[in-house]
Amino acid sequence: QVQLQQSGPGLVKPSRTLSLTCAISGDSVSSNSVTWNWIRQSPSRGLEWLGRTYYRSKWYNDYAPSVESRITINPDTFKNQFSLQLTSVTLDDTAVYYCARISVAADDSFDIWGQGTLVTVSS
Amino acid sequence: SSELTQDPAVSVALGQTVRITCQGESFRSYYASWYQQKPGQAPVLVIHGKNSRPSGIPDRFSGSRSGNTASLTITGAQAEDEADYYCKSRDSSGNHYVFGIGTKVTVL
């Protein structure tokens, strides 16, 4: 079955860059029928979709307006994974971060989730 | 503020039926998907599309849509259904995703 395994530091200093990786097993980052997403959750913001990457003959990205100037999501076809980079973090970026898959077969729904990574922004 | 409106909390007696609603203009164009989240765990998809359940989700969970309101119904609630439930749709641009604030379901 499809599984997503997240990795990355749980503590980031203010103004630095948050970096997380999501390793995919049981599916391909280059699949034409899925998108690969990052979502975060905090008490103040609830569940917040951050952005996605996907392949449809070429690579595409979409980002949430709230983070568009600071976010990059990149696929890694060699390692079959995708990553999140969020620059210039502040205390407000403290949250649990999830990677998640959207499958065409699941009607545009997040059908597979990573285990979540608590990222704390603190000096 | 979220483009999707959910009641913060609802309670249901064991074995009874509860309906959780989510309001948003996007539902006139898109179906909701619904997620169950228990403390310390990642959300789990329970309903997608018109009314489809992923493998392993009990048939006591069902979904519907009317106008600008999407609903998740639990028929014969069990103790293990106590959780937070989130709806999801697209935003007004249609290019991004948004979630409701979540409804905490308590099974009495």
Q: What is the pLDDT of residues A58-107, one digit of tens each?
A: 999 999 999 999 999 999 999 999 999 999 999 999 999 999 999 988 88
Q: What is the pLDDT of residues B5-48, one digit of tens each?
A: 999 999 999 999 999 999 999 999 999 999 999 999 999 999 99
Query: Which residues are CB-neighbours of A58 under 8 A, at least 6 positions away?
Result: none
pLDDT at B2: 62
Partner residue opposite B42 with nearest CB, options A62, A106, A113: A113
Confirm if B94 and B86 have CB atoms less than 8 A apart: no
- Measured at the CA of B63, the angle between CA A62 and CA B87, to 5 degrees, comes to 40
- Can you tell me the distance from the alpha carbon of B53 to that of B45, in angstroms, rounded to the nearest whole number? 8
- Can you tell me the distance from the alpha carbon of A76 to that of B53, in angstroms, rounded to the nearest whole number? 31
**The two three-digit tokens of residue A102, written as one number:** 């959207």
pLDDT at B76: 97
B31-70 residues touching A, CB cutoff 8 A:
31, 33, 35, 42-45, 48-49, 52, 54
Partner residue opposite B33 with nearest CB, options A37, A107, A115: A107
Q: What is the pLDDT of residues A7-56, one digit of tens each?
A: 999 999 999 999 999 999 999 999 999 999 999 999 998 999 999 999 99
pLDDT tier, B53 (very low <50, low <70, confident <90, very high otherwise): very high
Interface contact A46, partner B, CB < 8 A: yes
Contact A49 B97 (CB under 8 A): yes
User: Which residue of B lies nearest to A49 if distances are taken between CA atoms?
Assistant: B97
pLDDT tier, A1 (very low <50, low <70, confident <90, very high otherwise): very high
pLDDT at A74: 98
Q: What is the pLDDT of residues B78-96, one digit of tens each?
A: 999 999 999 999 988 888 9
Which one, of B17, B20, B22, B1, lies nearest residue B9 by Cα?
B20
Confirm if B99 and B22 have CB atoms less than 8 A apart: no
Contact B101 A106 (CB under 8 A): no
Chain A residues with CB inside 8 Å of B54's CB?
A: 106, 111
Interface contact A122, partner B, CB < 8 A: no
pLDDT at B78: 97
Block residue for tokens 């285990």: A115
